[in-house]
Structure 1
Amino acid sequence: MTMRLIDNDPDGIRICWVEGESLVTIVVPRDKLTEAKQLPDMPERGVYYLLDEDHGVLSRVYAGQTTQGLARLEAHKAKKEFWNKAVMFLDSDINIDRDVLDVLEAKTIDFVRRNGSYETDNTYLPSPHVNPYKEQRVEELHKSILFRMKVLGYDLNRLESIVHVSEGFHTKKNGIAATGKYDKETGRFTVFAGSDVDLGHGIIKNLRAIAAREHLFKGRTGKAKLDRDITFASPSTAAVFVLGGSQNGWTEWVDDQGKTLDEVYRNKEHMNE
């Protein structure tokens, strides 16, 4: 995949192509929308995602279709406050006709609703007629979109990561009790619903994943309980979220035998080398 960085900014607007494919991918930070709309010769038909993301960790996702290209994001900027980044997959109307677009949007929305541990604003699932002669084209486009999202660092298939996790771990410190699971394949750690969270430490305010904590916690101050599972990029980030302060998740999380996460995974890996 070839990537062009606008203004040489890796956190700014990015345009991506895959060799042999006409589909163009455009990553647009919310605050760069005006500049993005000035890009020349951009296709106007395709699907897109609105993301609330922090270093690849997705908290909320919305999927939709557009026949207006980047201009479609203007309405979402005015009406939807949650997103900080948009990823659009655009092509010409010759390569994506109306029937393909409608079915591709439905497939995109269905995948987001079924496969993510993140929240989604997609409450309605369209049911367009599927032309059997165009099914393969839709499948190819959707497969390419998922591949590109993963390469960009936005893995939409978070449910798969949570299912294939190891045995449970827990932490008890300063009256805080929490449980979770570690995913060896992704390096992420999921804190389970019902876990205690110390709200008294200012450091948690820096975690965008809990910016809307009123939707995640039972309680508002002091010690609160998590309403639902939430996945973090690392065991240490999860430990900081739960305990506050500066934490080493590899030693804070222990299993039922009292072994730390470090002993179970890192030492085991060293022994097998």
Structure 2
Amino acid sequence: MIDLKTVTMQLIDGEADGIRICRIEGESLVTVVVPREKLAQAKALPDLPHRGVYYLLDEDHGVLSRVYAGQTTQGLARLEAHKAKKEFWNLAVMFLDNENNIDRDVLDALEAKAIDFVRTHGSYETDNAASPNPRISPYKEQSVERLHESVLWRMQVLGYDLDRLEVGPSSVETFHTKKNGIRANGRYSKETGHFTVLAGSIIALDKPIIKNNGALKAREDLFGGTIGRATLTDDITFRSSSTAAAFVLGGSQNGWIEWVNDRGETLDEVYRTHKEER
């Protein structure tokens, strides 16, 4: 017997990359995908539940550079505060239901699972500093597990796989960037997720860094108020490839796409996109 799930997706204004509402036959949980710039329009949509968990994503064609998980009892209105205070995200994915199906205890436990998962899985940075540990009745644990599994499955179906880990060749392979005439070299560690920019790399100090405190601090520590271009004299390691790319190039960078090997493959293509083929 074939096990089937029927997913219904509604595209607001018919836009494939706009607001999307997804439902699964036989389940009450509603998934709402909201591009940051469409938040005001999304908030005006009627008859959407208000309780559940959500993810804020720094996303580029399915590649996740940064993820934040949280809970809401206000539905889409919760995103207003994040729009004002968190600059990194360009997409929100919310999983909503009513309080009869997600009570306070279940909501707290579901959020804790979501936060713990993004802190321990995937090849992305997270804004969640710690995993909460709420008390949950043993009679509700199965419900929380089932909801979390459904959330992860739906994220995967949408193309935002939160469990996408690095696999690939040895971390000694060298990657480089030549953007805007800047030549820098680096190496990625699949064990730690860290990226090391190698000595001799050219750093574009004339372009300011946007929204990346780690890259900004490293520049200030090494180069102070120097402007123009500089040559890195010692290797420097960053927690992510995106921070390393921002350090080298300035602006706001997606390191998974910016760093390329000698075969012309991006870091994402080597370590994540083709993992099923390896």
> What does residue 259 of structure 2 align with?
238
**Residues 171 and 139 of structure 1: is their aligned pair in 2 closer, same or farther, counting only changes over 3 Å?**
closer
**What TM-score, normalized by structure 1, do the two folds share?**
0.72
Seq. identity, %: 55
Alignment of 1:132-143 (within 5 A): 132-143=138-149
**Residues 191 and 123 of structure 1: is their aligned pair in 2 closer, same or farther, counting only changes over 3 Å?**
closer
**Residues 211 and 148 of structure 1: is their aligned pair in 2 closer, same or farther, counting only changes over 3 Å?**
farther
How many residues align? The count is 235
> What does residue 137 of structure 2 align with?
131
Correspondent of 2:156 among 147, 150, 157: 150
One-letter amino acid of the structure 1 residue matched with residue 195 of structure 2: F
One-letter amino acid of the structure 2 residue matched with residue 130 of structure 1: I
User: SS of the counterpart of 1:136?
Assistant: helix
Distance 1:121 1:177 in 2: 27
Given that residues 53 and 110 in structure 2 are in contact (C-alpha distance below 8 angstroms), is that contact kept between their aligned partners in structure 1? yes
User: SS of the counterpart of 1:94?
Assistant: coil
User: SS of the counterpart of 1:96?
Assistant: coil
> What does residue 74 of structure 2 align with?
68
**What TM-score, normalized by structure 2, do the two folds share?**
0.71
**Residue 191 of structure 1, CA deviation:** 7.7
Q: Give unpaired runs (5+ residues) of structure 2.
A: 1-6, 224-228, 243-252
Residues 1:170 and 2:174 aligned together: yes
**Residues 176 and 61 of structure 1: is their aligned pair in 2 closer, same or farther, counting only changes over 3 Å?**
closer
One-letter amino acid of the structure 1 residue matched with residue 50 of structure 2: E
One-letter amino acid of the structure 2 residue matched with residue 123 of structure 1: A
Distance 1:73 1:85 in 2: 10
Correspondent of 1:119 among 120, 125, 142: 125
Distance 1:106 1:171 in 2: 36
User: SS of the counterpart of 1:123?
Assistant: coil
**Residue 154 of structure 1, CA deviation:** 1.5
> What does residue 89 of structure 1 align with?
95
**Residues 249 and 216 of structure 1: is their aligned pair in 2 closer, same or farther, counting only changes over 3 Å?**
farther
Distance 2:107 2:258 in 1: 39
Q: Give unpaired runs (5+ residues) of structure 1.
A: 183-189, 241-246, 254-260
**Residue 238 of structure 1, CA deviation:** 2.1
Distance 1:51 1:118 in 2: 10
**Residues 180 and 48 of structure 1: is their aligned pair in 2 closer, same or farther, counting only changes over 3 Å?**
same
Correspondent of 2:264 among 246, 249, 252: 249
Given that residues 64 and 160 in structure 2 are in contact (C-alpha distance below 8 angstroms), is that contact kept between their aligned partners in structure 1? yes
Distance 2:184 2:39 in 1: 42
Correspondent of 1:179 among 167, 175, 187: 187
Distance 1:6 1:199 in 2: 43
One-letter amino acid of the structure 2 residue matched with residue 110 of structure 1: D
One-letter amino acid of the structure 2 residue matched with residue 228 of structure 1: R
Distance 2:263 2:64 in 1: 23
One-letter amino acid of the structure 2 residue matched with residue 179 of structure 1: R
